[in-house]
Chain A
Amino acid sequence: MRNVLSIRGNEALLTRANPLAKFAAVVLITLVLALSIDWVSASTALLGELALFPLAGLSLRLLWQRGWPLIIAAALGGWSTSILSADSGRILLDAGIWSISEGSLQLGLGFMLRGLAIALPAILLMSCTDPTDLADALAQKAKLPHRFVLGTLAAMRLVGLMAEEWQTIGMARRARGVGSRGTPSQRFRAMLGQSFGLLVQAIRRASRLAVTMEARGFGGSERTWARESSYSLLDAWVLLGGVLLAGAAALAAQWAGTWNFVW
């Protein structure tokens, strides 16, 4: 998981922006897109987002590699919407209970584009934001409690370890005669046992990590920050970009008359 979304080696412009500014811009775009299901606002936002890719150090290939499950999910969502939604306008394809009409195709397309347009900013944000920098910004700028923020950050590092541990426990249990193959119910039971093993290891690791952190003086009321989280002119541009993109999407849909407010 970590190596797929890692930003190491990414030196694009947006990696230097403050995570909070990026986060705010993403929330703004998502919010506007969530207000209406129509293909004009979604495709406007999508085009704008694709144009921003180079600034985040992403390419279409990288996007496909990192985000293919989301992309396929959006396509499936669109397809099933166009098949299943109520028909309106000319019928384009009729296969018994499934039929695609102009109206349902439009709705399905809107659905798919909107799904993509909402998912993309999140992928964009993750690919140009380091979790440590995000934590710094949340604690220093958003003034969230530092115990909570840093505790979560340290725990997240363990998640990657747990993925390796899961594989090891799976092998270790096979070496004891617990098969992870067989009927679905056998597999399910094997997975429950393996989950329990992982849980035990996770709790042990977490408590040792907690001791390490406490022994390094963590948990006091006052602390300084080695890395200052600061805003720059770039962050104003990021926010402006978010406002413009969200605004353009809404206006384009209003102008084309496709804006349909869902509430």
Chain B
Amino acid sequence: MPASDAGVRPATVLARGWGWRHAGRATPAVHGLDLDIEPGERVLLLGPSGAGKSTLLHALAGVLGDGVAGDGSEDDADETGVLHLDGGAPRGQRGRAGLMQQDPETQVVLSRLGDDVAFGAENLAVPRDEIWRRVHEALDDVGLAHLPLDHPTSALSGGQKQRLAMAGILAMRPGLILLDEPTANLDPAGVLEVRDAVGRCLDKTGATLVVVEHRVSVWKDLVDRIVVLRPGNAKDPAVLLDGPPDLVLEQARDMLTAAGVWVPGYVPATRARIAGDQAALENAAVDRADIGGPAQLLLAAEGLAVSRERPRRRGFKTIPPAPVQLGITAQVRAGQALTITGPNGAGKSTFALTLAGLLQPVEGHVSATLELSEGAGIDPFKWKAEQLIARIGTVFQEPEHQFVTGRVLDELMFGPRHLGHGGERVDELLERLRLTHLVEANPYTLSGGEKRRLSVATVLAAHPRVLVLDEPTFGQDATTWAELASFLSELLDAGTAVVSVTHDEEFTAVLGGSELRLGPASQSGTRQEAGAA
């Protein structure tokens, strides 16, 4: 028997009345948790946001700060009850548990593939020969063995980065594997890639698993138990439901869907488009006749070659960047949806940002019709920022990138103030996107779904006629998803053009309209698209 297999001893988890309050917070993130996880069990942890799922995972990984038991002052973190890993505090047991988080970029530590896998084993003072044996084995287990050990980690896709993180965890031979929304930032292909790699590793090592994830269907067949947590409050016990997947999903279906969990076989109800089919028919006619009709042409791209990189200077020469995608032609019409799809790194986001007047085309043109430009000129890239936001609004994948003030209300008033008109639409947006109770909050402190709704609202407050969205449904729970889809369908019916980059087929189905499918990145463009992976 190889030494490596002997190394894995599945871990047990025991919680008795465990609770945790983060430093500076009034209410605990987790309260009164009683939980037993047997060696080798695989548990999916569900619950609404704010139920303390991540806090529990961090605690089991031993990376929560030191708790001061029973102190009671709000400045220190506060731990109550008992949380044991193999009968002892997780903090003192480095390497017994391995944790994978959501953002692939921060799961990579070193710049060469092999070194990154070796990092954890090195920290546990594993002898050198054994480290490299483990590195090769772990890379093989996650399906990355075809890459050389000095392969740059920056050149990996999001799914590959998460598999690399899994390899790094495996090389520590942990008895407990903790996954905190490991696939929330990945496209559908990446999700399956990571899920399958995790499954293979568990089958081989027999380690205990605790995974937190909104998309139940992805993990349902891999786990043998689902635990549902109640949102943190200081009275009721933290565990709401606990049992085999099918039973829990049946018992708690309504409650889970209400909490925004993606229960298998459930597509949340959305508002249907009124003008959808009719407009599509008219569009076909307009395309042939190329004039008139209610589907007014607003924006057109012709023979577009796109790249995120700016022209580079090499000595005295200026070299244009290598485009990721060439020869794109597309039209954006009032009241119609345009969906941009395609594999990872195909330059979808890059194209959308170019269309939105934020990147300069490498070749070809983006031109606004008079209907849209209203005298601002034909090229959106040359528009001033105030001219741009009143015509084309862009919602970025990461909402935080677009926050420019410290208060939700200021955030919404920012566009209208710059344009010199009042915030007559702001109240309506606040109401419609359920942000009214948050007007005084700091945008950075909102939950993921709230941040997404706010970022859409802030862009719409400037009344753009074209709305461009980059992966608007990534990592969103079912409730936010349905709200967003319904809201966009309303906008479309009201005459706004909606351009979205997305992998989400159900979302595309709700919006209707036409699809622009981009092929794999052009051979000359070697760089992977950042973020949109």
Which residues from chain A sit less than 8 Å from chain B, CB to CB? 2, 8, 64-65, 68, 131-132, 153-154, 157, 160-161, 164, 167-169, 171-182, 193, 197, 200-201, 204-205, 208-209, 211-220, 222-228
Q: Flag if B128 contacts A225 (CB, 8 Å).
A: yes
**Residue of A197, A211, A222, A225 with highest tally of chain B CB at under 10 A:** A211
Q: Flag if B401 contacts A223 (CB, 8 Å).
A: no
Kindly identify which residue among A65, A180, A218 contacts B123, using a CB–CB cutoff of 8 Å: A218
Q: Which of B95-103, B219-227, B491-499 contacts A (4 or more CB under 8 A)?
A: B95-103
A195 to chain B, nearest CB (A): 13
Q: Flag if A217 contacts B94 (CB, 8 Å).
A: yes
Q: Flag if B58 contacts A177 (CB, 8 Å).
A: no
Bitwise, B128-169 to A at CB < 8 A (1) or not (0) is 100110010000000000000010101000000000010011
24 sample A-B contacts, Cβ–Cβ < 8 Å, listed by A number? A168-B398, A171-B396, A173-B402, A174-B385, A176-B385, A177-B415, A177-B419, A177-B462, A179-B384, A179-B385, A197-B400, A200-B444, A211-B61, A212-B106, A212-B165, A213-B109, A215-B63, A215-B98, A216-B123, A216-B168, A217-B95, A217-B123, A227-B115, A228-B128
A105 to chain B, nearest CB (A): 25
Q: In the complex, A181 Cα to B357 Cα: how many Å?
A: 14
Q: Which of B41-49, B254-262, B387-395 contacts A (4 or more CB under 8 A)?
A: B387-395
In the assembled complex, B513 has its CB within 8 A of some CB on chain A: no
Kindly identify which residue among B101, B123, B165, B462 contacts A223, using a CB–CB cutoff of 8 Å: B123
Query: Which B residues touch A174, using CB under 8 A?
Result: 358, 385, 388
Kindly identify which residue among B125, B400, B458 contacts A224, using a CB–CB cutoff of 8 Å: B125
Q: Flag if B119 contacts A216 (CB, 8 Å).
A: yes
Q: Flag if B105 contacts A226 (CB, 8 Å).
A: no
Minimum CB distance partner of B119 in chain A: A216
Interface size on B, residues (CB 8 A): 74
Q: Flag if A208 contacts B106 (CB, 8 Å).
A: yes
Q: Flag if A175 contacts B111 (CB, 8 Å).
A: no
Chain A: interface secondary structure?
A: helix
Q: Flag if B308 contacts A167 (CB, 8 Å).
A: yes
**Residue of B123, B150, B359, B395 with highest tally of chain A CB at under 10 A:** B123
Q: Flag if B110 contacts A225 (CB, 8 Å).
A: no
Q: In the complex, A172 Cα to B398 Cα: how many Å?
A: 9
Bitwise, B335-369 to A at CB < 8 A (1) or not (0) is 00000000000000000010010110000000000
In the assembled complex, B521 has its CB within 8 A of some CB on chain A: no
Q: In the complex, A64 Cα to B150 Cα: how many Å?
A: 27
In the assembled complex, B404 has its CB within 8 A of some CB on chain A: yes
Minimum CB distance partner of A4 in chain B: B312
Kindly identify which residue among B128, B394, B530 contacts A175, using a CB–CB cutoff of 8 Å: B394
Q: In the complex, A160 Cα to B155 Cα: how many Å?
A: 12
Q: Flag if B99 contacts A211 (CB, 8 Å).
A: yes
In the assembled complex, B475 has its CB within 8 A of some CB on chain A: no
Q: Flag if A223 contacts B530 (CB, 8 Å).
A: no
B181 to chain A, nearest CB (A): 12
Q: In the complex, A248 Cα to B396 Cα: how many Å?
A: 59
A218 to chain B, nearest CB (A): 5
Minimum CB distance partner of A68 in chain B: B315
Minimum CB distance partner of B99 in chain A: A215
Q: CB within 8 Å of A: which of B37-71?
A: 58, 61-63
Minimum CB distance partner of B93 in chain A: A217
Query: Which B residues touch A172, using CB under 8 A?
Result: 394, 396, 398, 401-402
List 16 additional contacts besides A175-B393, A220-B123, A220-B125; criterion CB under 8 Å.
A157-B111, A164-B530, A167-B308, A171-B359, A172-B394, A172-B401, A173-B401, A175-B394, A176-B458, A201-B400, A208-B103, A209-B109, A212-B165, A213-B119, A223-B123, A224-B125
Query: Which B residues touch A197, using CB under 8 A?
Result: 400-401, 403-404
A101 to chain B, nearest CB (A): 31
Q: In the complex, A61 Cα to B124 Cα: how many Å?
A: 45
Query: Can you list the 6 inter-chain pairs with the closest CB atoms, starting with the nearest?
Result: A217-B123, A179-B385, A216-B120, A226-B118, A172-B401, A208-B106
Contact A216-B98, Cβ < 8 Å, known A223-B125, A226-B135: yes
Q: Flag if B118 contacts A168 (CB, 8 Å).
A: no
Query: Which A residues touch B474, using CB under 8 A?
Result: none
Contact A132-B110, Cβ < 8 Å, known A174-B358, A220-B94, A225-B122: yes
B187 to chain A, nearest CB (A): 18
B282 to chain A, nearest CB (A): 30
Query: Which A residues touch B459, using CB under 8 A?
Result: 175-176
Q: CB within 8 Å of A: which of B376-413?
A: 384-386, 388-389, 393-396, 398, 400-404
Query: Which B residues touch A200, using CB under 8 A?
Result: 400, 444
**Residue of A179, A193, A211, A216 with highest tally of chain B CB at under 10 A:** A216
Query: Which B residues touch A216, using CB under 8 A?
Result: 98, 109, 119-120, 123, 168-169, 172
Minimum CB distance partner of A221 in chain B: B125
Q: Flag if B402 contacts A176 (CB, 8 Å).
A: yes
Q: In the complex, A214 Cα to B358 Cα: how many Å?
A: 38
Q: Flag if A211 contacts B101 (CB, 8 Å).
A: yes
Minimum CB distance partner of B464 in chain A: A175
B382 to chain A, nearest CB (A): 10
Q: CB within 8 Å of A: which of B162-216?
A: 165, 168-169, 172
Query: Which B residues touch A153, using CB under 8 A?
Result: 110
Contact A201-B419, Cβ < 8 Å, known A175-B388, A209-B109: no
Query: Which A residues touch B314, using CB under 8 A?
Result: 65
Query: Which B residues touch A182, using CB under 8 A?
Result: 384
Q: Flag if B389 contacts A176 (CB, 8 Å).
A: yes
B182 to chain A, nearest CB (A): 12
Query: Which A residues touch B119, using CB under 8 A?
Result: 213, 216, 218
Q: Flag if A168 contacts B396 (CB, 8 Å).
A: yes
Q: In the complex, A8 Cα to B111 Cα: how many Å?
A: 11
**Residue of B108, B395, B444 with highest tally of chain A CB at under 10 A:** B108
A146 to chain B, nearest CB (A): 9
Q: In the complex, A172 Cα to B135 Cα: how many Å?
A: 40
